[in-house]
């Protein structure tokens, strides 16, 4: 479970005040209740990374050098929809005959449903779900497998209840503020098409602009760049590709098979005003490679890390987290380059001209 093996999918959160190793006591105080206490209402709490019933949240089990690895467990009883509907129909028929009525009104059906739920729910086995998380003490971050809005809405308030601080979700806009003090609302919207029939952009979408620029820069410059620490890296983009735009008409377009980056359909999607929202991204540094699906909202999906040569689980986890950190820093530095360009009116004007010519060439117009 979590970040200890296989590919990982996660969102990145910033901690304004940071945390230290001593914070394990806060998480231990909010450990998950025993599963035997589960009744009608759901229960949740922290467990170790080993499994969802391991309530022993201790420094020995969960803290590894600069990282704390655990999970938020949620347990609830659920009645399968088909089973609930069947029992409700059965009880409604019994109730209708007992009343001598031809049908039951809405209030009566609601009462029957409440009665059925009260009878069935205690007999249902617990359903367990977990959101694995890693607290990065050194970089004041939390990596969490909270990929949907519903998962984020559960994870963040509970994290605040535990630690006293709300984690800040890192997306294109919040990253721009944190890393470059750039407010997206201060930037003029940018259109990458010369098609006069496409209505003007109504707002700035830095995430969409960044991914589209990343594709353009890769084809233009070959995808080779140097990190601030001097390491040389390379990157490339692959399909499937997801395009998106706001406004009238079709909002999304997906290209999956073949070589979508080279297909005229990709160029036409851009020419019609869409921007790149999701793509497969490969990063290389020396003999090491990272592969993931990246989103315009900075969600990282299915990140495949370089193989580990550490023999013990603790060493493997630490090496994996260092690899995740390397990937994130490289990706964020590419975003820094985009932001520097985006905030320079003269350079951005030249870049826009190149982007629009590139889009027209891809579209064959």
Reported as a single tens digit per residue, the pLDDT across 55-111 is: 999 999 999 999 999 999 999 999 999 999 999 999 999 999 998 888 889 999 999
The total number of residues written for the chain in this structure: 365
What's the token pair of residue 314? 């603790």
pLDDT surpassing 90 at residue 7: yes
Establish if 199 belongs to a structural domain: yes
Shared domain for 222 and 103, answered yes or no, is no
Residue 202: predicted pLDDT: 61
Establish if 69 belongs to a structural domain: yes
Please classify residue 207 by burial: count the beta carbons closer than 10 Å to its beta carbon, then call 0-12 exposed, 13-18 middle and 19+ buried: buried
What average pLDDT does this structure show over 250-277?
76
d(CA 194, CA 107): 59
Shared domain for 63 and 114, answered yes or no, is no
Residue pair 179/173 in contact by the 8 Å Cβ criterion: no
pTM (predicted TM-score): 0.89
Establish if 2 belongs to a structural domain: no
Number of helices and strands (H, E) in the chain?
Answer: 10, 13
Establish if 3 belongs to a structural domain: no
Boundary of a domain, candidates 169, 200, 231: 169
What average pLDDT does this structure show over 222-245?
90
Shared domain for 25 and 161, answered yes or no, is yes
For 170-216, the pLDDT digits (tens) are: 999 999 999 999 999 899 888 888 776 666 666 778 999 999 999 99
Band of residue 266 on the pLDDT scale cut at 50, 70, 90:
confident
Shared domain for 324 and 355, answered yes or no, is yes
Shared domain for 153 and 101, answered yes or no, is no
Shared domain for 64 and 181, answered yes or no, is no
Closest CA to 143 of 248, 246, 68, 245: 68
* Percentage of the chain exceeding pLDDT 70: 94
The domain of 99 spans 81-122
Residue 258: predicted pLDDT: 54
Residue 239: predicted pLDDT: 85
Shared domain for 143 and 219, answered yes or no, is no
Shared domain for 198 and 313, answered yes or no, is yes
pLDDT surpassing 90 at residue 166: yes
Band of residue 257 on the pLDDT scale cut at 50, 70, 90:
low
Q: Torsion-angle region of residue 168: left (phi > 0), alpha (psi -120 to 50) or beta?
A: beta
pLDDT surpassing 70 at residue 54: yes
Shared domain for 246 and 342, answered yes or no, is yes
Shared domain for 56 and 200, answered yes or no, is no
Establish if 144 belongs to a structural domain: yes
Residue 57: predicted pLDDT: 96
Residue 265: predicted pLDDT: 80
Shared domain for 135 and 203, answered yes or no, is no
Residue 262: predicted pLDDT: 59
Residue 200: predicted pLDDT: 62
What average pLDDT does this structure show over 9-35?
96
Shared domain for 325 and 285, answered yes or no, is yes
Establish if 231 belongs to a structural domain: yes
Please classify residue 115 by burial: count the beta carbons closer than 10 Å to its beta carbon, then call 0-12 exposed, 13-18 middle and 19+ buried: middle
Establish if 268 belongs to a structural domain: yes
Query: DSSP readout, 61-127?
Result: HHEETTEEEEEEEEEEE---HHHHHHHHHHHHHHHHHHHT-S---HHHHHHHHHHHHHHHGGGSPEE
Domain count of the chain?
3
């Amino acid at each position: 479970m979590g970040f200890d093996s296989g590919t990982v999918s996660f969102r990145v959160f910033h901690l304004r005040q940071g945390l230290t190793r001593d914070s394990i006591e806060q998480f231990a105080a909010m450990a998950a209740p025993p599963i035997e206490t589960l009744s009608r209402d759901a229960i949740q709490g922290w467990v170790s990374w080993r499994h969802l019933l391991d309530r022993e949240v201790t420094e020995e089990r969960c803290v590894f050098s600069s990282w704390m690895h655990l999970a938020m467990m949620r347990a609830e009883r659920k009645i399968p929809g088909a089973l609930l509907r069947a029992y409700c129909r059965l009880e409604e028929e019994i109730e209708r005959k007992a009343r001598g009525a031809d049908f039951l009104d809405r209030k009566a059906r609601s009462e029957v449903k409440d009665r059925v739920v009260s009878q069935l729910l205690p007999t249902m086995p617990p359903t367990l779900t977990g959101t694995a998380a890693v607290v990065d003490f050194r970089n004041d971050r939390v990596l969490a497998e909270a990929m949907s809005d519903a998962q984020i809405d559960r994870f963040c308030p509970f994290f605040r209840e535990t630690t006293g601080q709300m984690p800040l979700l890192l997306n294109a806009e919040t990253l721009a503020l944190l890393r470059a003090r750039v407010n997206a609302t201060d930037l003029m919207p940018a259109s990458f098409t010369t098609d006069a029939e496409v209505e003007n952009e109504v707002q700035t979408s830095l995430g969409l602009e960044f991914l589209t620029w990343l594709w353009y820069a890769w084809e233009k410059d070959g995808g080779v760049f140097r990190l601030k620490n001097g390491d040389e890296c390379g990157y490339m983009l692959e399909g499937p590709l997801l395009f998106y735009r706001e406004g009238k008409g079709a909002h999304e377009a997906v290209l999956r098979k073949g070589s979508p980056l080279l297909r005229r359909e990709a160029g036409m999607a851009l020419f019609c005003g869409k921007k790149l929202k999701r793509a497969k991204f490969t990063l290389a540094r020396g003999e090491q490679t990272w592969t993931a699906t990246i989103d315009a909202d900075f969600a990282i999906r299915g990140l495949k890390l370089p193989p580990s040569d550490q023999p013990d689980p603790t060493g493997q986890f630490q090496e994996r987290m260092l690899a995740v950190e390397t990937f994130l820093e490289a990706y964020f530095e590419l975003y820094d380059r985009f932001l520097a360009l985006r905030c320079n009116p003269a350079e951005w004007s030249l870049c826009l001209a190149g982007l629009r010519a590139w889009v027209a060439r891809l579209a064959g117009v």
